[in-house]
Structure 1
C-alpha cells in the first residue's frame, strides 16, 4: 500500500516510519525537558502524546500537499496564493488539534474540550510551522519534477529538431542529384539514344533503391557503395571512356556505419568540377579504410583544382549539406575537408567515428547495378 503526496508516492510503512522517527525525536526533547521538572511525567505518556500529535499530521499531510498544488505561491498571483495558504495553514492546524484531541480522549480521563485546549496551547504554533514545512517540501518536489520534465522536453525537442534538420538535408540531396541526371539524359537524347535509355533504366533502379532503402540516418558502408555504384554507372555511361572509377575498400570496414547517401554528393561534386568542367579524361578513386577509432574515406579526382577559397571550383549544395549532416550526427567528432593533389587534382577527405552497424535490423540489400 502506498500513500500519495501530490504527484509523489511513498510506501505506507516507510511513511509511518518517517513520522514515528519525528515523534520519537520530539519525545527525546520532551524527556530532557521533563527531567528538569518535578513531578515528572512517565516516559510512556510522553511517547503516547508525541505519537498522537505527529500521527495527526501524518493523516493530514496528503491534504497539505493537495492544498499546496491547488493554491501555489508563484507567478503573478503569488500574493493571492500566499494569503490563501495562510488561511489554509491556520485551518489545517486547527483540524490537526481537533484530531489530536479526539484521539487523546480515548486515553485520557479529561474530556474533548479540555484536551482541545491543551493541544491549542501546547502545539498550535509548532503545528503552523509543520504546515509550512510540508508546503515547502511539496514546492521543492514539484520544482525538481518540473525541472526534470522541462529538461526531458527540451531534450526531446532538440532531438526532433535535429532529426528534422537531417531529414531536410537528406531530401535536398535527392532532388539535386535527380535534376543533374535528368539534364544529362536530355543532353544525350540527341547524341546517343541507347546511352540515354540505359541511363534512364539505371536512374529508375537508383530511385527505387532510394524509396525502398532503410529510412534511418545511417546505413552500412557496403550498402552505401551499392547505391554509389548505381550512380557511377550512370556517370560512366554519360562520359563513356573519359571517366574511370576505382573503389578500394578494406574488408574490415564493410559494415561500418555511414550517413546514408554521404558518398553520392561527394562523388557528384568531384565529377562536376572535374571532368564536367575540364577537357580530357579523369579518374575518380574512392578509398575506404580504418585508422584507429576513425573511418577514413577519401574521394579523389585528378582533373580539377582548388580555388583561392579552398573549394573545388565552387561550393555546391552537396558538400555544404554533407557537412551539416555530419555536424548534426557526430558533432565535432567528424570532419570533411578538401586537399590539393600535386600536380593536379583534389581529394575530399571524410573522417567519421568508426562503429559497426547491425545489419540485421535493416531490410534486404538493394540490388547492385548490373
Structure 2
C-alpha cells in the first residue's frame, strides 16, 4: 500500500516507521523530563501510549494536510490572503487533531472527553500548530523539488528535440545539395552520352529510394553507408568515365559501427569537386575506414588536389561545414574532422568518432548494383 504525500509517494511500512521514530523520540523526551523535573515517573509504555495517540493522529492527518497545502499553496511573493488562509487551516486541523487525540485517550483513561480535550489543548496545542506548519514546509519543499526535476527533464527533452531538429535541417540541406549537383551532371550528359545519362538517372532513383525507404534515423551502420556510397560512386563513374578511380578499404571490424547517415557522400563529392572537377587528367579517390583505439577513423583521400596556401585545416563549404555540425550535435567533442595535405600531392579529410556498434537489419535492394570497388581488409590498405 502506498501513501500519497503531494507529489511524493511513500510505502505504508516506511511511512509508519518514520512516524514510529517520532513517537519513540517524544516518549523518551517526556519520560526524561518527568524523571528530572516531574512530580512522578510513569512506566515507559504509558509514555509510548500517550506519544502514539498524539503523533499517529498527525500521521493519519498528514496526507490530508498535504492535499490542503497543494490546493492552497503559499507561493512567493507572500500575500496576506494566502498566509491568513493557512493560519486558519492550521488552527482548524490542530483542533481536529486534538479532538481525535482526546477521543482516543478516553478509551485508556478514566476521565471523560471534556477533561481529555482540555488536557490536550493545554499540553499539545502549540506543538500541534508547529506540526502543521512543519508539514506545510515539507510539502512545499517536496513540491519544489518535484517541480525542479520536471523542469530539468523538460529542459533535457527540449534540448534533445532541438538537437534533432538541427540535425534534420542539416540533413535536408545535404540532400538537395547532392541532388542538384547530380541532376546538373545528368543534364550535361544528355547531349553527349544519352545512355550514360539514363544509367545515372536509374542509379539516382535507386539512391533516393534507399534514402526514403531504408533509413529514418540519424545513424546507420558503416556497412549500409558504404552501400549508399557505392550507388553515388556509380553515378560519378558514369559522369567522368575512365578519369575517375575510386577505391574503398574497410576494416571488417568497423562495418557494424554507427555513423551519421550521408556522412561519406558529401566528403567524396567534395573530394571529386576539388580534384577532377577542377583539374585535367585522371583522379583517384580513396576511402579508408578502420577501428582503432576505441574510435572509428575514416579518411577520404584525393590524389589530385591540394590545400590552397592559408586554407584552414577545418575546411569550408556546405559539405564539410554541415558534416562538422552534425558530428558536433551527435558526438560533441568526441568527434573530429580536419583536412591534411598529403605528400607529394593530395588532400585527406580525416574523421574520428566514437566506435559504437549499431543493431541494424541490412536489406540491400535486389536490383541494386553490386559493389565494384569495395574491398574489405584489416588495417590500412
Task: Establish whether TM, by shorter chain, passes 0.5.
Answer: yes
Instruction: Say which SS state the counterpart of residue 54 (structure 1) adopts.
Output: helix
Deviation at 1:61, TM superposition (A): 0.8
Show the counterpart of 1:45.
46
Aligned counterparts of 1:326 and 1:79: Cα–Cα separation in 2: 55
Q: Are the aligned partners of 1:6 and 1:62 in contact in 2 as well (CA < 8 Å)?
A: yes
Aligned counterparts of 1:287 and 1:38: Cα–Cα separation in 2: 93
Show the counterpart of 2:376.
none
Show the counterpart of 1:162.
163
Aligned counterparts of 1:65 and 1:148: Cα–Cα separation in 2: 19
Aligned counterparts of 1:182 and 1:275: Cα–Cα separation in 2: 18
What does the per-residue CA deviation read over 1:87-127, in whole Å, with 9 as the maximum and x for residues that have no partner? 21111111111111111222222222221111111100111
Q: Are the aligned partners of 2:7 and 2:146 in contact in 1 as well (CA < 8 Å)?
A: no
Aligned counterparts of 1:311 and 1:41: Cα–Cα separation in 2: 88
Deviation at 1:78, TM superposition (A): 4.5
Q: Are the aligned partners of 1:323 and 1:336 in contact in 2 as well (CA < 8 Å)?
A: yes
What does the per-residue CA deviation read over 1:236-257, in whole Å, with 9 as the maximum and x for residues that have no partner? 1111111111111222222222
Aligned counterparts of 2:44 and 2:216: Cα–Cα separation in 1: 74
Q: Are the aligned partners of 1:305 and 1:344 in contact in 2 as well (CA < 8 Å)?
A: yes
Show the counterpart of 1:207.
208
Instruction: Tell me, yes or no, if structure 1 residue 346 matches structure 2 residue 329.
Output: no
Aligned counterparts of 1:332 and 1:363: Cα–Cα separation in 2: 29
What does the per-residue CA deviation read over 1:204-226, in whole Å, with 9 as the maximum and x for residues that have no partner? 11111111122121111121111
Question: In angstroms, what is the RMSD of aligned CA positions?
Answer: 1.9
TM-aligned CA distance change 1:95 to 1:309, over 3 Å: farther
Show the counterpart of 1:86.
87
Show the counterpart of 2:59.
58
Aligned counterparts of 2:12 and 2:290: Cα–Cα separation in 1: 61
Q: Are the aligned partners of 1:214 and 1:363 in contact in 2 as well (CA < 8 Å)?
A: no
Deviation at 1:38, TM superposition (A): 2.9
Q: Compare 321-330 and 211-220 and name the one that shifted more.
A: 211-220
Show the counterpart of 2:268.
267
Q: Are the aligned partners of 1:52 and 1:100 in contact in 2 as well (CA < 8 Å)?
A: yes
Q: Are the aligned partners of 1:223 and 1:366 in contact in 2 as well (CA < 8 Å)?
A: no
Instruction: Tell me, yes or no, if structure 1 residue 333 matches structure 2 residue 334.
Output: yes
TM-aligned CA distance change 1:285 to 1:80, over 3 Å: same
TM-aligned CA distance change 1:134 to 1:220, over 3 Å: same
Deviation at 1:45, TM superposition (A): 3.0
TM-score by length of 1: 0.94
Q: Compare 260-269 and 63-72 and name the one that shifted more.
A: 63-72
Could you tell me which runs of 5 or more consecutive residues in structure 2 were left unpaired when the two chains were aligned: 371-381
Q: How many residues align?
A: 368
Aligned counterparts of 2:356 and 2:43: Cα–Cα separation in 1: 73
Instruction: Tell me, yes or no, if structure 1 residue 238 matches structure 2 residue 239.
Output: yes
Show the counterpart of 1:303.
304
Q: Are the aligned partners of 2:224 and 2:362 in contact in 1 as well (CA < 8 Å)?
A: no
Aligned counterparts of 2:57 and 2:329: Cα–Cα separation in 1: 57
Q: Compare 37-46 and 267-276 and name the one that shifted more.
A: 37-46
Aligned counterparts of 2:83 and 2:309: Cα–Cα separation in 1: 68
Deviation at 1:173, TM superposition (A): 0.9
Q: Compare 262-271 and 66-75 and name the one that shifted more.
A: 66-75
Instruction: Say which SS state the counterpart of residue 245 (structure 1) adopts.
Output: strand
Where in structure 2 are the equivalents of 1:42-191 lying within 5 Å? 42-76=43-77, 78-191=79-192
What does the per-residue CA deviation read over 1:151-171, in whole Å, with 9 as the maximum and x for residues that have no partner? 111111111111121122112
Instruction: Say which SS state the counterpart of residue 75 (structure 1) adopts.
Output: coil
Aligned counterparts of 2:4 and 2:121: Cα–Cα separation in 1: 28
Deviation at 1:128, TM superposition (A): 0.8
TM-aligned CA distance change 1:12 to 1:220, over 3 Å: closer
Deviation at 1:79, TM superposition (A): 4.1
Aligned counterparts of 2:292 and 2:303: Cα–Cα separation in 1: 24
